[in-house]
Structure 1
């Protein structure tokens, strides 16, 4: 059924209104539904520009984080309460930035995955489990816009108003499948996951960089990327909106001789391509003059990609193939996606260098040591051992030398 027309939604943007809302939310009951809206694709930062809260007995509250500032009082009020998210990993960082740090969560997206639902987007899961059609027309909006249009605010409110009901439906589904403990471990792991450190080679993700074949040109691409990143951070704008990746790689490949030549380069476009021309030209000159020439490729610090295993480690390649087949069958049996049974990285790691002796206990210890959850180890250890043993006993392919 369609969602009923919604009342007008107001945004809380003063400390007085915020503290009154904290008191009202504290008087509610049960879990609290939480969501956050960012301005990805528009802003450099990943800060929250709107935070939505719903609790039974309290109602719905929409907060303007830049105006409110610190949310410590709300965090304290909800310290012992379960927080309900849909895709918690997307919101936890920006919530922690304003002082909101849940101690216990329920993730309806992750729960839906573990329950075996084929599609786990919020609108789809709400429609499947609650029978309500939830429009998602503003998901990619620029939430740093002020004032926020009323239609956007209604959309944001609806994102949390059905979330507690959805939590109960997903929990019931998990309980009926005997997966409640699995979900609990996964939710705890989501909370405990640490943010990845900044990648010093992030510039290597430039679109089109693979077409650059000389270290000097790479140095120019790196200098342009760093100049763009610095300026984007300074004015809090998404880097690609200032200067597209392909403009950087085009300039790095062409190496224009003068600033005027850079301005004439057809592929060098974007909102700030001309207004910041001195900045980009200075970066090109710095790249040209640099003594620190980057290598064409950065050697990996881990195991090689699986596509190279058949040549570099044929036994590991057979183990991985056998384990993947076993996992596909296990995934179907348990109605849990393969990637949730065990991360592909963990499976590759243990296939590349399995413990010796190969026993269920040694495999379980290795998996737990690499960060697998206990339920994952319990669910997969026998499949891994059996697959590895069968792989070691398989006949080599006709063009494969016997080991």
Structure 2
């Protein structure tokens, strides 16, 4: 087993950057976070591999300023597996790739049955990886040797995988598809913050009444503030189900709150004053949340026949057409066209010409290759769906 070490010394960091700058070809990059353990999504390990340079494991909290690494590799392609997961953490470090190749996304476009890193490495290179530490607490210091080997293997073979997947993309005529998807991933803006993030509480649907919702909100905000202060994942302090249990039990005293069997979590009793004060604040606030929140989400398709029968007919006509194109291209339907895009243009008919459908898909965010593969066939399906049975069966003139 190769022994790897984490670079936390600044002089070692500069030497590693120099080695990477002198390497050959693209660089493979990966990030390890402490999701489920820490409040933040910051990077606790950054792994980089380049041919003729080797694998380097960097300690972001210790290094701080990653400008030398950006300067060393900022003019070549960065290769990721599932880039969208790593880009936000890298951008917090001011690490920005000029262009990317995403091996997971490429594998999806190629129709690989399994697209996890270990599966893709095995299917392309015949190498078996052990993936035992993906859910580890990467904020741990020092990091165990077995974890470091796992982290190194995340990038060690990625350049070879990239070359094989590029060959497959070229053979299947999908290189342009992939290039557009990679560019879209790189330039995609983060989703704006939710207006009411506390409504993400799992089990909130059980809570009835604006006053009880105010209590749930107050508990969520109290937990969020404490989690951020402690840099601990909120659910590790008090799980969602425990907050909901406290709201539903409606305790009349701090002692009654402590007596709720389902109010659990490592901070449920040590921070009992905090949670009780949140309940008191929620019961006293004059700013009651709305019980029903307006949303631009479409109704579930099963309700369309009653709510919008014309849209239902359009979706039922277009969906199998898109699925057939995806099957012909040997890729998942959701990679050919985001399902929500098809639902939205079926619900809010933009028109029945190819240009009208194409324009609507472009505004939603579909890439040119997706539009080229689907717009004409969707438009034809919409026309068919709007025809009466007599019109559909009449011979063409």
TM-score (norm: length of structure 1): 0.95
- C-alpha separation in 2, matches of 1:300 and 1:233: 29
**Paired residue for 1:3?**
none
1:262 aligns with 2:284: no
1:395 Cα deviation from its structure 2 partner = 4.5
Shift in Å at residue 295 of structure 1? 2.4
How far apart are residue 253 of structure 1 and its match? 1.0
1:386 to 352, 375, 380: 380
Q: Quick one: distance in 1 between partners of 2:283 and 2:300? A: 33
Q: Deviations over 1:250-278 (max 9, x none)?
A: 11111100011101111111000011111
Instruction: Provide the residue aligned with 2:346 in structure 1.
Output: 351
5 Å-filtered alignment, 1:2-401, equals 6-356=1-351, 358-393=352-387, 395=389
SS at match of 1:30: strand
- Total equivalences in the alignment: 390
> Structure 1 CA distance, aligned partners of 2:248 and 2:388?
49
Q: What is the alpha-carbon distance in structure 1 between the residues aligned to residue 321 and residue 199 of structure 2?
A: 35
Q: Per-residue deviation at 1:325?
A: 1.1
Unpaired segments ≥5 residues, structure 2: 391-397
Partner of 2:395: none
| Corresponding residue SS for 1:80 | coil
Q: CA deviation at 1:320?
A: 1.0
Q: Match of 1:399?
A: none
Q: Deviations over 1:81-135 (max 9, x none)?
A: 0000000000000001011110100000000000111110000111111101000
Q: Matched residue of 1:53: which SS? A: strand
C-alpha separation between the residues in 2 aligned to 1:211 and 1:260?
A: 24
- Measured in 2, the distance between the counterparts of 1:190 and 1:394 equals 42
* CA deviation string 1:359-378 (max 9, x = no partner): 11221122112211100100
After superposing on structure 2, the runs of 4+ consecutive aligned residues of structure 1 that deviate more than 3 Å are: 302-305
CA distance in 2, matches of 1:303, 1:75: 42
The SS at the match of 2:29 is strand
SS in 1 for 2:286: coil
User: Please, what is the CA RMSD of the aligned residues?
Assistant: 1.3
Q: CA deviation at 1:302?
A: 4.7
**Alpha-carbon separation, structure 1, partners of 2:57 and 2:358:** 45
CA separation in 1, counterparts of 2:67 and 2:29? 15
After TM superposition, the score normalised by the length of structure 2 is 0.96
Cα-to-partner distance string for 1:123-160 (whole Å, 9 max, x where unaligned) = 01111111010000000000000000000000100110
Structure 1: distance between partners of 2:371 and 2:237: 46
How far apart, in 1, do the equivalents of 2:124 and 2:203 lie? 43
Aligned equivalents of 1:198, 1:181: Cα separation in 2: 32
Question: Which ranges of structure 1 fall in alignment gaps of 5 or more residues?
Answer: 1-5, 397-403
